[in-house]
Amino acid sequence: MNVVRIAGSDASFECAVGESLLDGAARHGIELPYSCRKGVCGNCAGRVPEGEVVGVRGAPMTNETCLPGQVLFCMCAPVSTAVIAPTEWHRIDPGARKKFTARVFRNQRVAPDVSLLQLRLPTGQRAKFKAGQYLRVTAADGSTRCYSMANPPHESDSLSLHIRHVPGGSFSTRVPELHSGDTLEVELPFGAFSLREGERPIVLVAGGTGFAPIKSILDDMARRNVDRPTTLIWAARQADGIYLRPAVEKWQKKWPGFRFVAALSDATDALPEGFVGARADQALVQCMPALQGHELYCCGGPPMVAAVREAALRLGLDPRDFHSDVFVEGPAVPG
C-alpha cells in the first residue's frame, strides 16, 4: 500500500500495488475527475508534485491531452508515498450513486443507426445526476456499457439515451429489439463532463450521439434560465444524423442569439439552410475565428474529439477550457 495525499488538503488515501490513483481515491470515498477510465479522454489528468508513479500494467501515463507535467490518474499507480494535484476533487456522497431496474417506456429509431431509448425508474424512485453525466447499463453477459443521459436532471424519474448501433457491437445492435416493458439494470451517475458555472461564451461540439450529454446540458441551462452566448456545432456524416431538430429549434426560440451549425462530412445532396459540408473540427474553424475567453465542451468518438481539440487550441482556446467526454467503445472498466 502507498499513501497518497491531495496537495493543499489533509485528504489522503491508500493505493494497493498496481492500483490506479483514480481507483484508490474512489475506494476511499474521494472522486477525482474522470470519464472514459481508459487513458483516452484526459479528464483525469493532474500533477504528481511528490513521489513516483508508474503506468498501470505498463500503460502509457500520458497522452496528447496532458498539459506539461500532468499524468493520467486512471493510468498510473504510485510506487512510493505521493502527493497529487488533481484539477478538482470532492468527497463522494455515498447516497448519490444508485442502481435501478429501469423499464423501457419508449424505443424509437430516430436515425438509420440511432435509437432513442426512454427508460422509466420504478415508481417513487428518482435518479440524481448532473447534466452531462452518464450511466452504466448491464449487458446480457454481465459486462457494462456507458451511455450519457440526454434528459436534464430535473426529469429525474426517467432516463433518455441516444444509442448508436455500432456495427458488430454486442449491446448496441440489440437495442432496437427492446420493447416497452422490458427491463434494464442501470447504475448512475458517472463522469465529470458538466457545464462550469460562469458567464463566458460557450461552444458545444457534438459528434453523432455525442449530442446526448450536450442536449442534457442545454435543456438544463434552459430550465435554469442560464443565458450565455452559445454556439452548438453538431456533426454527422449525413443530414439524417442530425436526428433531433425540434430540440434545437426550441433552444433557438428561447435564446435569440443561440447559434446552430450542422456539419455534414459526407453529404452528397444540396445542403439544407444552416448546414455546412465539413467535419466538426473544420466547422469549428469556419464559424469561430478565435476562441480566447471561451469554454468548449466536446463529445463524440476519440478521433473527432482529438481533431476538435487540436483545432480549438490553434484558435487560441486555453487548454484548461477544453472539456470533453469521449465515447471510447468496448465494455466499461469495472470500478
Ligand X SMILES: Cc1cc2nc3c(=O)[nH]c(=O)nc-3n(C[C@H](O)[C@H](O)[C@H](O)COP(=O)(O)OP(=O)(O)OC[C@H]3O[C@@H](n4cnc5c(N)ncnc54)[C@H](O)[C@@H]3O)c2cc1C
Q: Is 212 in the site for ligand X (CB under 6 A)?
A: yes
Q: Is 215 in the site for ligand X (CB under 6 A)?
A: no
Choose the stretch contacting ligand X; rule: CB under 6 A; options: 70-78, 144-152, 262-270, 283-291. 144-152
Instruction: Report how far residue 52's alpha carbon sits from residue 44's, in angstroms, rounded to the nearest whole number.
Output: 17
**Closer residue to ligand X (CB): 191 or 241:** 191
Q: Provide long-range contacts, Cβ within 8 A and 24+ apart, for 247-251.
A: 247/215, 247/218, 247/219, 250/222, 251/218, 251/222
**Closer residue to ligand X (CB): 81 or 138:** 138
Q: How far is the CB of 146 from ligand X (least distance, A)?
A: 4
Cis amide leading into 189 (omega within 30): yes
Q: How far is the CB of 48 from ligand X (least distance, A)?
A: 24
**Closer residue to ligand X (CB): 201 or 302:** 302
CA dihedral 52, 53, 58, 59 (to 10 degrees): -140
Contacts of 135 (CB under 8 A, 6+ apart): 129, 146, 147, 148, 149, 159, 161, 186, 187, 188, 189, 190
Choose the stretch contacting ligand X; rule: CB under 6 A; options: 74-82, 89-97, 234-242, 322-330. 322-330
Contacts of 78 (CB under 8 A, 6+ apart): 2, 4, 15, 21, 24, 48, 51, 52, 53
On the 0-12 / 13-18 / 19+ scale of CB atoms within 10 A, 124 is exposed
Q: How far is the CB of 170 from ligand X (least distance, A)?
A: 4
Q: How far is the CB of 191 from ligand X (least distance, A)?
A: 6
Which residues are bridge partners to 99 per DSSP?
Answer: 187
Q: Is 325 in the site for ligand X (CB under 6 A)?
A: yes
Q: Is 169 in the site for ligand X (CB under 6 A)?
A: yes
**Closer residue to ligand X (CB): 114 or 262:** 114
**Closer residue to ligand X (CB): 24 or 207:** 207
**Closer residue to ligand X (CB): 141 or 197:** 141
Q: Which of 36, 53, 244, 308 binds ligand X (CB under 6 A)?
A: 36
DSSP state of 37: S
Q: Are 104 and 184 in contact (CB under 8 A)?
A: yes
Q: Which of 35, 118, 160, 230 binds ligand X (CB under 6 A)?
A: 35
Question: Which residues would be at the binding site for ligand X (CB under 6 A)?
Answer: 35-36, 134, 145-148, 162-164, 166, 168-173, 191, 209, 212, 325, 327-331
